[in-house]
């Protein structure tokens, strides 16, 4: 019985090599054959029968020698399939945890960013409030000083009060000195690449995904998505994203999700 190893090592049978010149001549005859009458038409039928017979014999030879290889390949695949399924289960578990951690780090970074922005805004508001209080105190001091100077200059009390109010208003109308502009808040997001001490390298990218919330609305907006194939919708989402727009498709909720690589 032929084995995969012997099938690979065996040269083509001598019978095939013997037939090669005959087949070459037969093919040449078929290429040059022209049908002009009944005998040549019958000759075409004979040529075709001989060529199909040669094809059948070649296919039989191929099947005879390849069947053991195919059977062994299937046996190997059956043996490896459980292992591949087990490995896939482990990779999917790790990927889920990597995705969860990435999303958690992104959430923490967003919280830290909001906190830093709130603190910067509160500091600016406090600085503005302090400047207004200082301006009010300056206006009151100017009012009192103008009042005392007017009285000392011999103005009547009513006139001195009017001058004092004018001086106070003049100070209050001066624009407040603008404080330092808060620098943009930068909080780094989650690391997208991890290099372990073992040398293992893992990267996380964010890719577009979606869920269909209203199939009818989607088909009205995108009739070409009638078969609800993911590729059609994802192509439109990515096209909108590349154009600088936030992807919006009726009946679809588009979102980005982490995708581990490496």
**Average pLDDT along the chain:** 83
First to last CA, the chain: 45
Whether 251 contacts 243, CB under 8 Å? no
Q: Are residues 26 and 79 in the same domain?
A: yes
pLDDT for res 179: 58
Residue 247, token pair as written in the block: 């992807």
Range of the domain at 84: 4-90
With bands split at pLDDT 50, 70 and 90, how would you rate the model's confidence at 188? Answer: confident
CA pair distance 87, 95, nearest whole angstrom? 12
In a domain, 82, yes or no: yes
What tens digit of pLDDT does each residue of 38-87 get? 989 999 999 899 898 888 888 888 888 788 888 898 999 999 999 889 88
Q: What percent of the chain has pLDDT over 90?
A: 10
The count of domains in the chain is: 3
State how far the Cα of 79 lies from the Cα of 142, in Å rounded to an integer. 95
Domain boundary among 59, 90, 121: 90
Judgement on whether residues 9 and 86 belong to the same structural domain of the protein? yes
Domain co-membership, 79 together with 114: no
Domain shared by 8 and 81, yes or no: yes
Domain boundary among 139, 173, 207: 173
Same domain, 256 and 212: yes
Q: What angle do CA 89, 78, 9 make, to 5 degrees?
A: 135
pLDDT at 10: 47
Average pLDDT over residues 116-121: 86
Whether residue 183 is contained in a domain is answered as: no
The edge-to-edge listing of strands for the beta sheet with 193-195 is 193-195, 201-212, 252-261
Residue 253's pLDDT is 92
Q: Do residue 159 and residue 220 come from a single domain?
A: no
- The C-alpha angle 257, 259, 262, rounded to 5 degrees, equals 170
Q: Domain for residue 184, yes or no?
A: no
Say yes or no to pLDDT of 244 above 50: yes
My answer on whether 253 and 208 are in the same domain is: yes
Residue 26 lies in a domain: yes
Give domain status of residue 180, yes or no. Answer: no
Least confident of 96-105, 121-130, 175-184, 244-253: 175-184
**Per-residue pLDDT band at 254 (split at 50, 70, 90):** very high
Please report, rounded to a whole number, the percentage of residues in the chain having pLDDT higher than 70: 89
- H helices present in the chain, as ranges: 4-9, 14-32, 38-152, 157-173, 215-221, 230-242
Residues 136, 168 share a domain: yes
Instruction: Tell me whether residue 188 is in a domain.
Output: no
pLDDT attached to residue 153: 84
Q: What is the pLDDT of residues 4-45, one digit of tens each?
A: 444 444 455 665 677 788 888 889 999 999 999 898 999 999
**34 in a structural domain:** yes
| Burial status of residue 202 (CB atoms within 10 A of its CB: 0-12, 13-18, 19 or more) | middle
Same domain membership, residue 141 and residue 198: no
Same domain, 158 and 206: no
Residue 6's pLDDT is 47
The reported pLDDT for the residue numbered 97 is 92
Task: Report pLDDT digits (tens) over 128-187.
Answer: 888 888 888 888 888 889 888 888 888 888 888 888 888 888 888 888 776 555 566 666
98 in any annotated domain: no
Same domain, 77 and 116: no
Q: Is the pLDDT of residue 107 over 50?
A: yes
Residues 207 and 134 in one domain: no
Query: How far, in Å, CA of 187 to CA of 114, rounded?
Result: 9
**What average pLDDT score do residues 183-207 get?**
80
pLDDT at 78: 92
């Amino acid at each position: 019985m032929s084995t995969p190893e012997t099938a690979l090592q065996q040269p083509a049978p001598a019978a095939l090599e013997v037939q090669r010149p005959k087949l070459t001549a037969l093919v040449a005859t078929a290429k040059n054959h022209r049908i002009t009458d009944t005998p040549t038409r019958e000759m075409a039928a004979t040529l075709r029968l001989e060529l199909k017979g040669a094809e059948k014999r070649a296919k039989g030879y191929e099947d005879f020698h390849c069947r053991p290889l195919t059977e062994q390949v299937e046996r190997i695949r059956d043996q490896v399939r459980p292992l591949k399924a087990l490995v896939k289960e482990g990779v999917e578990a790790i990927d889920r945890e990597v995705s969860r951690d990435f999303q958690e780090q992104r959430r923490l970074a967003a919280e830290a960013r909001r906190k830093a922005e709130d603190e910067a805004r509160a500091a600016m508001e406090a600085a503005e409030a302090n400047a207004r209080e200082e301006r009010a105190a300056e206006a009151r001091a100017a009012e009192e000083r103008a009042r005392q100077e007017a009285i000392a200059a011999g103005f009547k009390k009513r006139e001195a009060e009017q001058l004092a109010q004018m001086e106070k208003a003049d100070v209050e109308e001066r624009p407040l000195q603008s404080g330092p502009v808060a620098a943009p808040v930068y909080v780094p997001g989650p690391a997208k690449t991890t290099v372990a001490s073992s040398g293992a390298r893992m990267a996380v990218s964010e890719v577009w995904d979606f869920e269909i919330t209203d199939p009818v609305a989607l088909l009205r907006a995108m009739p070409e998505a009638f078969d609800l194939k993911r590729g059609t919708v994802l192509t439109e989402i990515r096209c909108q994203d590349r154009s600088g727009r936030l992807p919006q498709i009726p009946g679809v909720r588009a979102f980005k999700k982490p995708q581990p690589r490496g």
